[in-house]
Amino acid sequence: MTEMVYGAVPARDGEPILPRWWRTIDKLSMSCILILFGIGLLLGLASSPPLAAKNGFEPFHYVQRQAFFGGLALVSMFLTSMMAPNLVRRLAVLGFLCALLAVMLLPIFGTDFGKGAVRWYSLGFASLQPSEFLKPGFVVITAWMISASQEVNGPPGKTMSFFLAMMIVAFLAAQPDFGQAALVLFAWGVMWFIAGAPILLLACMAVVVIFAGMIAYNSSEHFARRIDGFLAPDVDPNTQLGYATNAIREGGFLGVGVGEGQVKQSLPDAHTDFIIAVAAEEYGLILVLCIIMLYAVIVVRSLVRLMRERDPFIRLAGTGLACIFGIQAMINMGVAVRMLPAKGMTLPFVSYGGSSLIAGGIAVGMLLAFTRTRPQGEIGDILLRRTR
């Protein structure tokens, strides 16, 4: 009767891991993720051959690497989604500490690959961007701190999470990587809001962020150049934003045709930061709307399932992961249509990038683990009993 009313799936003693995982996983969200990965490979086939030829590689060099790293990402996603929330939390804390140490050592051992920001470690055969792995770990550990603070005689988790967020933002801004710093602040603010933070406090934090942005604009040439390019009344047609804007305009509703796009010949980041411009030019508005719908389904479906969750840690961690996944997609596409200044941020599961793909697989695996159906009633069931 409980299962019929609340939609819960009762536990079955001795049930193997795989059948239990398949019975409790959010299959619709997982299917959307797999479709996004397939679209990423399709767009990689269109966008990466010109860059591969320019760098002296085989035509499908970057597509093969994307398939390899994407395969690792999917394996990471499936394995993580099979874990219990407590195990996810333990591994996330360990991964967060390793990623934080890697971020702290970037000024000594990192490289900028000529892009003006020291964000990567060069491994010879590949590069590693530790900030990508820092985000999911930060979300989980912040959710743990905030949920612990809600317990009787619990630690000051909200204050601890605030100082942790400020420390991470400081390290990311020093690279400089203001896009990832903004994502960290956004995830922290969302979880604080869900945990009951007053609107006045969040408004004060927004004022502080604006003030910090003004300081960054006056002190960082890298940041100021991107803001000036965004605020300029006319787009320079010879810049990345100019090429992307023109490609989106040329694509129209149905696109110019598969393989007929020209933006991939001009944009060095057509397969990464501006992959949506390739989609819009060759396949038109239809494919772009499909991609937006897939991200929306994943985020909204996850949030709906989390609304039924009774454990505050799972509810907070899942909400933070879902929101950071969705807002990163929005930022990437917003930059391409010049609604936001350039951030250097990938489109999750669609853009090329080893660190982005694998870290995204881990983050989405955590989200799928937190949104699995558990043998429980809805949170409203508890509230109803308390009022009786």
What are the pLDDT digits (tens) for 77-98?
999 999 999 999 999 999 999 9
Sorting pLDDT into bands at 50, 70 and 90, what band is 385?
low
Give the number of domains in the chain. 1
The whole model's pTM is what? 0.88
**What is the average pLDDT value for the chain, to the nearest integer?**
84
**Of 293, 360, 355, nearest to 321 (Cα)?**
360
Is 13 part of a structural domain of the chain? no
Is 104 part of a structural domain of the chain? yes
Q: What is the pLDDT of residue 4?
A: 39
Residue 317: CB partners within 8 Å, gap ≥ 6? 85, 89, 139, 140, 143, 144, 366, 370
Residues 155 and 148: beta-carbon distance below 8 Å: yes
Residues 333 and 273: beta-carbon distance below 8 Å: no
Is 11 part of a structural domain of the chain? no
Is 5 part of a structural domain of the chain? no
Which domain, by its residues, includes 171?
Answer: 20-377
Q: Which residue has the tokens 């881990």?
A: 362
**Of 64, 48, 68, 34, nearest to 278 (Cα)?**
48
Structure confidence by residue, pLDDT tens digits, 36-90: 999 999 988 888 888 888 888 888 888 899 999 999 999 999 999 999 999 999 9
**Among 95-104, 300-309, 329-338, which is the least confidently predicted range?**
329-338
Residue 52: CB partners within 8 Å, gap ≥ 6? 58, 59, 60, 61, 62
Report, as an integer, the average pLDDT of 261-268: 75
Is 388 part of a structural domain of the chain? no
Total Cβ atoms within 10 A of residue 226? 21
Q: What is the pLDDT of residue 25?
A: 94
Structure confidence by residue, pLDDT tens digits, 148-191: 988 888 888 888 998 999 999 989 888 888 888 889 999 999 99
Q: What is the pLDDT of residue 3?
A: 41
